[in-house]
Amino acid sequence: MSGSGLGAAIDAFSEVSLDIPGLFIWKLEGRRLHLVEANDHGFLLEGTAYIVLQISQDKTSSLHFWTGKNATENDVTNIHDLAHELDATVCRASIFSREVQGHESLCFLRLFPEGLVYLEGGPHTSLSRTARYVKRLYVVTGRKHVRAACERPKVSALDPSVAVILDGYPRVYVWIGSKCGYVTRVKAIQVARRIRNWQREGKAHVVVIDEKDEELNKSFLKKLDDEREESPVHNQMNGHSCTDRTEETITLHRVSGDRVLYDMPYAARKPLQYKYLVSSSCYLLDTGPDNPLFLWVGSHAPVSEVSNAISRGKTFAEHKEYPSNVNVFRVLEGHEPLVFRQAFNDWRDRPQSQTRKYSAGNMGRALFSRSSKRAVAKVGDTLSEDVVEESDISTDEQLEVYVLKGNALEYVERWSNGSFSNGQCYIINNQHLDDRHCKRILYYWMGSKASEADRSRIVELAMVMEEAYHQNTAMVRVLDGKEPSHMLNVLGNAMIVFDKDLEETSPSVQVFSVREFIKGNIRVAQVPPTAASLNSSAAFVVISPDECFLWYGRRSGGPEREYAKYILGYLHPCKMYDYDIVTETKETEVFWSVLGGRLQYEADYITTRLERRNPRLFHCSVEVSEFSFDETVDFSQEDFTEQDLMLFDTFDQIFLWCGTNIDSNTRHLFGDVAQTYLAKDQAGRNSRDIQLWYICQGHEPHGFTKYFRSWTPTGFGGKDVYNLARKRVRQENARIDISSDILDRAHVVKVKYPYKTLVKGELPPDVDPANKQHHLTDKDFLEVVRVSRFQFCQLPKWKQNQILKMAHLTSGHSTSVSTPLSDKLSIPSLSLHLQS
């Protein structure tokens, strides 16, 4: 870009400062930038480019440059240079990205909570108001953050899964597809109201038409052109979903200068770890052609790495033959977005919105800001270990245990000491009182040596039991060795797991490890009777026909040693007072002979525990055997509706939330949904390390609801919110007078010709063949059409076409007119055309 262009850019940015928070948008017109008014935010012209800058209260910023699908190559180059000039002179943006129409990232879409509206036009097109009327049709796609794409008003644009807005003066119609979700329906109504207020200055009625309005549907179809052709709009929108396709290779490259086309070294492959990122370097994270491309710049990296990151990312994408619309991000160290952090297996999140606003002194009472759309919870609460509400009734009354034998469940009559076998599967039904209402949690426990058939069967039986309780439960999958603390609390803070193989062989020597599992909970497990089974971090009970030993590892604690004495009395009551205590390094030869001799053993247990992270919410779509997941950011309770299947991911836990209107077939697919989601996990998590919950609408546990700002029994979105939105627009319509003279004024700037000239075969070069009526004077128009322009604009589209056809004013019609107009035309009277 020339120096004069950059100078103009600096002038355009002169009023921007990191001390002034807010959203700033500039539109490119030639080589100059013009600041967009706040009322026009979210309305983007397809033939130009924009710069979007968001400045937060803490003086951090995110910068994006957006190009429309009809923008020229010069526009693309100019907006790239101007955005980098803004980044260098005004703010060093924490997040800097390239955005393309129809494929915007969530980081960009969340800046426009009311949605994006694409308009036809180029750089010098002004956003029209009531001065000019042009009938437009918008196809609304997306869910929480919608996009409305403008296209020709034709029948082929209608699709059962989308909402359509027709700006048909003096009414704005919202057509709702039968398969369109309630969240999208409400968002489409909000977009229609904004179009009414923005383009019609509030002087139009909003009419909502859904699958129940048969008569309105018939009338609406007549307003559209009946052209049966495939609409390209639905295919160009990127829903930010991950579908069941071949897994992409996730790689981390170390960027060395401009060597992005070849010889760029791999830093790591999936699973990625945070230690691979070095502050003095720049790295490129490649997660596949359908996902954003990230350039991570360390805090001590050279300035050239910061300035050239976007260009190098574009070069890399071209070399890999990725689509031209792939998003390219530059992120600075310490300001990584959630979608970037999620690709690393060991990334530890800090709730930044809290740590920035509260000091260490008041951290214990710090709550999320009121402006935050996340949970209202204490700092240590949402990322802490979950607890289950305690009951006021006794343990015997609230706990039921079933074991799977064959294909049926068998009730365990005498349940004591939490005894399990790792060759079987169990269901623990825990019920407790909460505000005089009985709540249940079903744990289905899978032994590590249980057969695949038993594992599948226990899930089916758990679902049957859940349906028997009318979905008034929460189900938790528990794997052997991965028991959560709240389950151990239900079992009396302890459990014992017998080994299937050792039970079958019945060895003369039995060995049990006793270790503190999680926060005071004790887990006892039967292990092979060899010295290799010992561990310095636990206590062990060794039982032989002649001798009994309690072996204490040097790292074992008091609770483990005391519980070893207790469990000995349970396992071998006659030996509960006849045993020898052996501490590590003080073993006798008799002890080693019982275990078959000395062997090397471990000093500590190697366990994999995922750190809890800030949660992510996904809307799950199930079609035949394919699953897709659309992420929802800035989520709230209203994002959950009765017809939705949602997935809530806290990295160490996955909650599958099911609405009340989900059919039973979809409910039984919840295991497949979680498996498909984890198969596409960029961090490479193992399913064994994740706790899986299945919860139903209205019966959410505290471990789930604590992540939300507020959670009430009636706070869900869905049909009620949709009906309330419809009621609101009806009330607004009653207060709006649409009889005011707001008409199509496109004819004002058209050259006027006599009627005879317009119906001849050869038309003057400046006549629009598709709109010959615009070239008539008001007097000729009234004489030919027999109605005023205002009355003509109020007619449905099909009636307008009929009148113009009879007047020979449609393209393809020509005649020879030599007599007065009134003698040549026979136009039906106004009463036959006007709607009642």
The DSSP result for 191-234, as a single string, is HHHHHHHHHSTT-SEEEEE-TT-HHHHHHHHHTSB------SHH
207-235 burial by CB neighbour count: b if 16+ within 10 A, else e?
A: bbbbeeeeeeeebbeebbeeeeeebebee
- Tens digit of pLDDT for each residue in 184-207? 999 999 999 998 888 777 888 999
- pLDDT (0 to 100) of residue 472: 83
Residues 802 and 785: beta-carbon distance below 8 Å: no
Question: What global pTM score does this model have?
Answer: 0.80
Strand partners, 151: 137
| pLDDT tens digits, 724-753 | 999 999 999 988 877 655 556 667 778 888
Q: What was the pLDDT predicted at 393? A: 38
Query: For residue range 626-661, what is the model confidence (pLDDT) as tens digits?
Result: 888 999 999 999 999 999 999 999 999 999 999 999
Q: Please provide the average confidence, as pLDDT, over all residues in the chain.
A: 82
pLDDT bracket for residue 392 (50, 70, 90): very low
- Largest separation between any pair of C-alpha atoms in the chain: 128
The predicted pLDDT at position 248 comes to 55
- pLDDT at res. 744: 62
State residue 351's pLDDT score: 46
| Range name among 323-332, 362-371, 592-601 with the lowest pLDDT average | 362-371
Check: CB of residue 624 under 8 Å from CB of residue 590. Answer: no
Q: What does the pLDDT read at residue 519?
A: 76
Q: State residue 361's pLDDT score.
A: 37
- What lies within 8 Å, CB to CB, of 368 at 6+ separation is 353, 354, 374, 375, 376, 377, 709
Check pLDDT > 70 for residue 261: no
Please choose, from the candidates 492, 497, 489, the residue with its C-alpha nearest in 3D space to the C-alpha of residue 514.
497
Confidence of residue 170 (pLDDT cuts 50, 70, 90): confident
pLDDT of 260: 53
Burial 435-450 (b: 16+ CB within 10 A, else e): eeeebbbbbbbbbeeb
Ranges of beta strands (E only) in 633-771 are 645-649, 653-658, 691-696
For 130-151, write each residue's pLDDT tens digit. 434 567 899 999 999 999 998 8
Can you tell me the mean pLDDT for 474-493?
90
Q: Tell me the HSE value of 59 on the side-chain side, using a 13 A CA sphere.
A: 6
Q: What is the 3-state secondary structure (H, E, C) of 487-532?
A: HHHHCCCEEEEECHHHHHHCCCCEEEEEEEEECCEEEEEEECCCHH
Q: Per mean pLDDT, which range of 483-497, 517-531, 791-805 is the poorest? A: 791-805
Per-residue model confidence (pLDDT) at position 368: 37
Beta pairing, strands 171-176 & 539-543: unpaired
pLDDT band at 240 (very low <50, low <70, confident <90, very high): low
Asked whether the beta carbons of 775 and 753 are under 8 A apart, the reply is: yes
Percent of the chain whose pLDDT exceeds 70: 82
pLDDT at residue 232, as a whole number: 44
Peptide bond into 271 cis (omega under 30): yes
Q: Facing residues of 45 across strands?
A: 119
pLDDT band at 568 (very low <50, low <70, confident <90, very high): very high
How many CA within 13 A on the CB side of residue 109? Answer: 26
The 10s digit of each residue's pLDDT in 711-730 is 998 899 999 999 999 999 99
| pLDDT grade for 811, boundaries at 50, 70 and 90 | confident
Rounded-to-integer distance, Cα 61 and Cα 18, Å: 8
Give the strand order in the sheet containing 293-297.
32-35, 22-29, 49-55, 61-67, 95-100, 328-332, 293-297, 282-286, 251-255, 266-269
Least confident of 62-76, 390-404, 482-496, 525-539: 390-404
**How much of the chain exceeds pLDDT 90, in percent?**
41
Q: What pLDDT score was predicted for residue 2?
A: 54
Encoding tokens for residue 254?
């170390």
Choose from 104-118, 213-227, 232-246, 409-423 the range with maximum mean pLDDT. 104-118
Residue whose C-alpha is closest to residue 476's, from 660, 670, 345, 662? 670
Yes or no: say if 349 and 115 are a contact pair by the CB < 8 Å rule.
no
Mean pLDDT score, 533-560: 94
Work out the pLDDT band at 228, boundaries 50, 70, 90. low
